[in-house]
């Protein structure tokens, strides 16, 4: 498969020529859900979450905004994709996972990645069964991931996708909270596990046990599945794309405290983490990334993408949107327009749907090229003083 290439100006004749491949990043308009698609510099396609569903027919017909699994399948078919190189499920919540069984039944992944315990939830039973069949056929590999793991890499293009979270602290917090649910607030039993592999196995066992007992009246509450969120950093040359899933404030603080981490023996400094493109965590809710730490993770002028309709949750919050704006990280919505000031519910405002990341770290804003989509991307009115042309980081 031939990778997309970025236009570079030939100074001799003033024309654009195609030299370097790009990292293409798609945010699908999925309402309050997440569905992210990557086309790597080598032309491989990867999926990060798929919360796409068929929305309420009345809302769908009135608003014509949200995409479905059928839309995503149609796009992949147009691109000539038969298999996905990798699929990452960041954590086991329906708004990130519900569409995966329907999609992967037609587009098998070479590699399926998820955090510990994710596939033990009953709401993902269909997905687990499908993956077992695909794994038995020898077509799909599965892997459990946490902070420091390389999820995908293409050495020839200096591209890799690495997990910054869940950190060990996240895993311990999740295991402790789940054990308390099983013990109904009593002192947790069992030995504290220090080995990383053993901790993952313990989490898988706790999730399976809880799912079996969840229907019992005595079990009240639910585990903090957001603590399992895989925070993924895609690096391509000098370009970085940071995807926050539903990682919470404590997770971001933990990552920020460590000035470096080791990934396959390579020391990664905090400067290496700073991204030009940022998928805002937890749909822009206040319990996501602390605004005071934005500069730790983002380069000056980074683009922020927020996936939320503002329909079912109190997100994105005005505090997050205004805070990102004041700090120069222009926010775009990729869900729907309910939270956009000056726009009524149901008006199309899906913000930026596609981003191309150049190997030198520059980020041009790319408008929707596919007329079959349900919306035409426009600037959110929250950013009405900023025009796309003023954000293009190219000096052609």
In the prediction, which pLDDT does 103 show? 95
Tell me 244's DSSP state: -
For strands 298-306 and 275-279, give the pairing.
parallel
In the prediction, which pLDDT does 283 show? 85
**Residue 373 falls inside a structural domain:** yes
For strands 109-114 and 298-306, give the pairing.
unpaired
Which residues lie across from 37 on neighbouring strands?
26, 47
**Residue 7 falls inside a structural domain:** no
Q: Work out the number of other CB atoms within 10 angstroms of the CB of residue 279.
A: 24
**Residue 226 falls inside a structural domain:** yes
Q: What's the CA gap between 371 and 33, in Å, rounded?
A: 22
Kindly give the confidence (pLDDT) of every residue in the chain, 396 residues in length, as a single tens digit, with 9 standing for 90 and above.
Answer: 233 444 444 334 444 444 789 999 988 877 677 899 999 999 999 999 998 765 555 555 544 456 778 888 988 999 999 999 999 999 999 989 999 999 999 999 999 999 999 999 999 999 999 999 999 999 999 999 999 899 999 999 999 999 999 999 999 999 988 888 888 755 555 555 556 668 888 899 889 888 887 555 555 677 899 999 999 999 999 999 999 999 999 999 999 887 565 555 666 666 677 999 999 999 888 999 999 999 999 999 998 888 765 544 556 777 888 888 889 887 777 765 444 443 333 333 444 467 889 999 988 754 443 322 222 333 333 333 222 322 222 221
In angstroms, what CA-CA distances link 349 with 93, 120, 283, 352?
Answer: 25, 36, 16, 9
Contact assessment for residue 104 and residue 78, using Cβ atoms and an 8 Å cutoff: no
Contact assessment for residue 311 and residue 283, using Cβ atoms and an 8 Å cutoff: no
Short-list 234, 277, 270, CA closest to 252:
270
Domain count, the chain: 1
Q: What's the CA gap between 267 and 273, in Å, rounded?
A: 12
**Residue 396 falls inside a structural domain:** no
**Residue 6 falls inside a structural domain:** no
In the prediction, which pLDDT does 130 show? 97
Which residues lie across from 25 on neighbouring strands?
38, 355
Q: What's the CA gap between 156 and 146, in Å, rounded?
A: 25
Q: Please report, for the domain that includes residue 168, its CATH number.
A: 3.60.15.10
The pTM is what? 0.83
- Is the bond into 117 cis (omega within 30 degrees of 0)? no
**Residue 289 falls inside a structural domain:** yes
Q: What's the CA gap between 210 and 216, in Å, rounded?
A: 10
Question: HSE-up of 41 (CA within 13 Å, CB side)?
Answer: 24
**Residue 4 falls inside a structural domain:** no
Contact assessment for residue 355 and residue 48, using Cβ atoms and an 8 Å cutoff: no
User: Which ranges constitute the DSSP H helices of the chain?
Assistant: 57-63, 69-78, 94-97, 100-104, 125-136, 168-183, 196-213, 249-257, 294-297, 318-326, 388-391
Q: Where does residue 364 rank: exposed (0-12), middle (13-18), buried (19+ CB within 10 A)?
A: middle
3-state helix, strand, coil in the chain (%, to 5): 30, 25, 45
**Residue 395 falls inside a structural domain:** no
In b/e form, how buried is each residue of 313-347, taking b as 16+ CB within 10 angstroms?
A: eebbbeebbebbbebebbbbbbbbbbbbeebeeeb
- Which residue range forms the structural domain that includes residue 143? 19-390
């Amino acid at each position: 498969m031939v990778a997309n290439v970025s236009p570079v100006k030939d100074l001799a004749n003033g024309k654009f020529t195609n030299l370097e491949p790009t990292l293409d990043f798609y945010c699908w308009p999925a309402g309050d859900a997440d569905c992210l698609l990557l086309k790597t510099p080598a032309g491989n396609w990867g999926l990060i979450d798929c919360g796409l569903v068929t929305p309420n027919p009345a809302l769908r017909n009135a608003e014509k905004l949200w995409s479905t699994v059928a839309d995503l399948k149609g796009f992949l078919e147009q691109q000539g994709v038969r298999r996905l190189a990798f699929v990452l499920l960041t954590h086991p919540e329906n708004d990130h996972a519900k569409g995966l069984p329907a999609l992967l039944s037609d587009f098998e992944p070479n590699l399926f990645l998820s955090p510990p315990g994710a596939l033990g939830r009953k709401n993902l039973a269909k997905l687990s069964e499908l993956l077992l069949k695909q794994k038995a056929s020898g077509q799909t590999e599965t892997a459990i991931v946490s902070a420091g793991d390389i999820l995908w890499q293409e050495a020839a293009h200096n591209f890799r996708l690495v997990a910054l979270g869940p950190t060990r602290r996240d895993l311990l917090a999740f295991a402790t909270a789940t054990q308390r649910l099983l013990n109904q607030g009593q002192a947790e039993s069992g030995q504290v596990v220090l080995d990383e592999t053993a901790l993952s196995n313990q989490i898988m066992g706790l999730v399976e046990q809880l799912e079996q007992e969840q229907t019992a009246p005595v079990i009240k509450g639910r585990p903090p599945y957001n603590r399992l969120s895989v925070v993924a950093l895609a690096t391509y040359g000098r370009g970085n794309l940071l995807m926050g899933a539903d990682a919470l404030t404590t997770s971001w603080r933990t990552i920020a405290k460590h000035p470096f981490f080791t990934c396959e023996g390579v020391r990664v400094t905090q400067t290496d983490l700073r991204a030009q493109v940022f998928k805002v965590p937890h749909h822009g809710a206040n319990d996501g990334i602390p605004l005071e730490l934005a500069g730790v993770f983002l380069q000056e002028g980074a683009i922020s993408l927020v996936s939320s309709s503002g329909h079912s949750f109190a997100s994105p919050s005005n505090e997050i949107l205004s805070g990102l704006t004041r700090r120069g990280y222009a926010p775009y919505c990729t869900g729907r327009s309910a939270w956009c000031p000056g726009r009524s519910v149901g008006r199309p405002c899906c913000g930026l749907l596609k981003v191309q990341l150049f190997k030198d770290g520059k980020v041009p804003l790319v408008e929707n090229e596919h007329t079959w989509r349900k919306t035409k991307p426009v600037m959110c009115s929250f950013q009405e003083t900023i025009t796309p042309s003023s954000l293009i980081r190219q000096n052609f």
